Amino acid sequence: MGDRNITFEENTKQVNRMIARMLACCTVIILILVGCSVAGVFEFGRDYTLIILIAGLFITITPSILIRFGSDHVVKYYTLCMLAVFIGVLGTNNHIGIYITYILVPLFSCLYFEPQLVIKTSIMSYAVMAVALYINSADKYEVIYLGRPHLTIYIAYLIGFTIEYMVVNSVLYLLVKRARQMMEERNSAKEDNRQKSEFLSAMSHEIRTPMNAIIGMADVAMRKDMDDDLRRCLRVIKSSSTGLLEIINDILDLSKIEAGKMNIVIDTYTTESLVEDMKVIIEARNISKKVPIYYHIQEDLPKELEGDVVRLKQVVLNYASNAIKYTESGQIDVTLECKDMGDGYAVLTYTVKDTGQGIRQEDMGRLFTMYSQLNVEKNHSKEGTGIGLAISKYFIDSMGGEVSAESRYGEGSTFSFRLPQKMVTERTNESGKVRVKYLDPVPKGEDCVFVTRGARILLVDDNEINREVIKAMLEPLDLTIREARNGAEAVELAETEIYDMIFMDSHMPVMNGEEATRSIRSKAGINQNTPIIAITADAISGVRERLLGNGMNDYISKPVNMNEICRMIRKYLPESKIVKDSE
């Protein structure tokens, strides 16, 4: 009910201000009437003219003054009352005679969407009009020239006026009552939807932590030497977990979109890491199905671009997952290109072409619709929520790009997007290799990229599962790892022991990661210049600037994967600490 009351209260304030401004504008009407009376256009008489001037100015000006000091409830009734008096006096005057204006007060009361207020205002306005009509009916033609009794003429006018007034105000009351009901139903639906979105968001976050642990541990285990049967079991675990996490992320994103809380986070990223991560996440999704996937990567991609790489990777995965899901035979071709647009911008084009079952032409219009899964009877065995493509379109549209889809039923489909990105540097990298078939993203046994000599790492996270996963990922690198459960413990350890790197969760009890980093940087201690890498699930605008502004060197987005964490170690660990490099 809280949000509902706020809605009507805000409406009351807006209507109060509107009526007050309207009455203030009526000051001009008062001055015109007085001027016409003085000029002889109206025969008000000196006393009546003076009354109109004084009373009119009081009525039209005081609401604007009262609105600054009085409560909304008082202002509401006062402005309506003043409006009723103003209209009653002018509307029934024999020389003006605009009787239809009596309906304006009840009409204005309708703007508050309060049925009881319409009744009260109608009664008040009727009383004012009845009194004004009695006073002004003495000047009627029938009374003055035909000599009919004043009271008889008044009652005759009043009966007709009353019938008309009751009919009109009854209609207004019913309209406002229904409008109020519809607004309350709408607000109630919004509140229910908000609570549902918050529940889904909370549940999704709760599920993501253990799911990330399952995926991370499966990834770690698959890097060890083992028999093929066990490796096959781990592949199924990782593939199924990745699919479930994809669904959870879709639900979480959908709840954010419906709640209006989805943010596009602009940051600098390297195309090399984009390509590497793209292959890893796609192949992780393809572990159990093993559809041949060929990558066509432009060789001269710009080295660095600026955009929301997290959402970009999510769209990449959604497109590829859709192709993997519906391709039983044949192959999938993934193409990534970048064309210079000039003025420091480039268009990133990503295309996924499959040889799956394809889409009927009559279904093409529903491809990017929320909650729409095509050909349900035929695809009932296909996993997914049916919202991945719709969410992908939302992301691309929000980032200023465009999506497209082509399909021939029974032959396959092609999905693509074009996305403008700002070029940070125009230097090219070596990521592109045309028609590379990428089948196994998981190195086995001794295929580690590097190991270290005596490197010391401080791992700070309040979640024990998260620490265990990251420790398992770092185990092949032969690191010495110390743990802290919050920022305060991290600050204490940083004062007594030297570390080569610190991985710091951003959200923790007692002291969060940013506070801990500021504390470490502010003290002239042994770890004042140690690289600190944030680990964060934040997806809000300016997160990179905020973290770097608090003294962190870089950050990793959750869920943490081994490639990303190893890349950070290679980037920030002193070269003297690296003793083996298989590249």
Domain boundaries, the chain: 1-139, 200-259, 267-423, 450-580
Give the max Cα distance, the chain: 120
Among the listed ranges 56-60, 422-426, 518-522, 544-548, which one has the minimum average pLDDT value?
A: 56-60
The residues, any chain, with a CB within 8 Å of residue 487's CB and separated by 6 or more, are: 460, 504, 508, 510, 511, 512, 513, 515, 516, 519
Q: For residue 488, what pLDDT is reported?
A: 95
Q: Can you count the helices (H) and strands (E) in the chain? A: 16, 15
- Cβ atoms of 80 and 108 within 8 Å: the answer is yes
The residues, any chain, with a CB within 8 Å of residue 51's CB and separated by 6 or more, are: none
Neighbours of 418 (CB within 10 A): 17
Q: For residue 83, what pLDDT is reported?
A: 74
Q: For residue 490, what pLDDT is reported?
A: 95
Pick the closest to residue 416 from 341, 347, 366 (CA basis): 347
- Cβ atoms of 457 and 480 within 8 Å: the answer is yes
Among the listed ranges 210-214, 311-315, 425-429, which one has the minimum average pLDDT value?
A: 425-429
Dump pLDDT digits (tens) for 359-373. 888 888 888 876 555
Dump pLDDT digits (tens) for 290-318. 889 999 999 889 989 999 888 898 899 88
Amino acid at 82: M
Confidence at 436, pLDDT banded by 50, 70, 90: very low
Q: For residue 185, what pLDDT is reported?
A: 86
Residues forming a β-bridge with 267: 307
Cα torsion 67, 72, 77, 80 to 10°: value is: 60
Confidence at 229, pLDDT banded by 50, 70, 90: confident
Confidence at 406, pLDDT banded by 50, 70, 90: very high
Higher pLDDT, 144 or 31: 31
What stretches of 211-331 adopt beta strand conformation (E)? 267-270, 293-297, 302-307
Among the listed ranges 53-57, 223-227, 288-292, 458-462, which one has the minimum average pLDDT value?
A: 53-57
Neighbours of 435 (CB within 10 A): 9
What percent of the chain has a predicted confidence (pLDDT) above 70? 81
CATH fold of the domain at 450-580: Rossmann fold (3.40.50)
Q: For residue 317, what pLDDT is reported?
A: 87
pLDDT reading at 158 higher than 90: no
Cα torsion 315, 316, 319, 325 to 10°: value is: -120
Average pLDDT, stretch 531-551? Answer: 79
Higher pLDDT, 453 or 405: 405
Among the listed ranges 208-217, 382-391, 401-410, which one has the minimum average pLDDT value?
A: 382-391
Whole-angstrom distance between the N-terminal and C-terminal Cα of the chain? Answer: 62
- Cβ atoms of 222 and 444 within 8 Å: the answer is yes
Alpha-carbon distances of 164 from 122, 157, 159, rounded to whole Å: 12, 11, 9
Average pLDDT, stretch 407-419? Answer: 93
Among the listed ranges 28-32, 117-121, 269-273, 332-336, which one has the minimum average pLDDT value?
A: 28-32
DSSP character at residue 148 = -
> Which of helix, strand or coil describes residue 428?
strand
Average pLDDT over the chain reads 79
Query: Can you read off the two tokens belonging to residue 322?
Result: 């859709």
Query: Can you read off the two tokens belonging to residue 309?
Result: 């790489």
The residues, any chain, with a CB within 8 Å of residue 221's CB and separated by 6 or more, are: 234
Higher pLDDT, 533 or 156: 533
Alpha-carbon distances of 288 from 220, 241, 316, 325, rounded to whole Å: 17, 11, 19, 11
Confidence at 147, pLDDT banded by 50, 70, 90: low
Alpha carbon distance 136, 157 (integer Å) = 11
Q: For residue 44, what pLDDT is reported?
A: 61
Pick the closest to residue 432 from 318, 270, 281, 271 (CA basis): 271
Helix locations, 328-408, DSSP H: 388-398
Alpha carbon distance 505, 492 (integer Å) = 16
pLDDT reading at 252 higher than 60: yes
Q: For residue 201, what pLDDT is reported?
A: 63
List phi, psi (to 5°) of 28: -65, -40
List phi, psi (to 5°) of 491: -65, -40
- Cβ atoms of 373 and 384 within 8 Å: the answer is yes
Confidence at 435, pLDDT banded by 50, 70, 90: very low
Alpha carbon distance 153, 174 (integer Å) = 32
Q: For residue 443, what pLDDT is reported?
A: 42
Q: Convert 305-315 to b/e letters by CB count within 10 Å (16 or more is b).
A: bebbbbbbbbb
CATH of 267-423, one of 3.40.50.300, 3.30.565.10, 2.40.50.140, 3.50.50.60: 3.30.565.10
Q: For residue 422, what pLDDT is reported?
A: 92
Higher pLDDT, 43 or 484: 484
Global pTM reads 0.56
pLDDT reading at 483 higher than 90: yes
Q: For residue 95, what pLDDT is reported?
A: 47
Alpha carbon distance 580, 583 (integer Å) = 9
Amino acid at 483: E
Crossing angle of helices 72-91 and 2-39, in 10° steps, is: 30
Q: For residue 433, what pLDDT is reported?
A: 42
Instruction: Report the DSSP pairing between strands 332-342 and 402-408.
Output: unpaired
What percent of the chain has a predicted confidence (pLDDT) above 90? 22
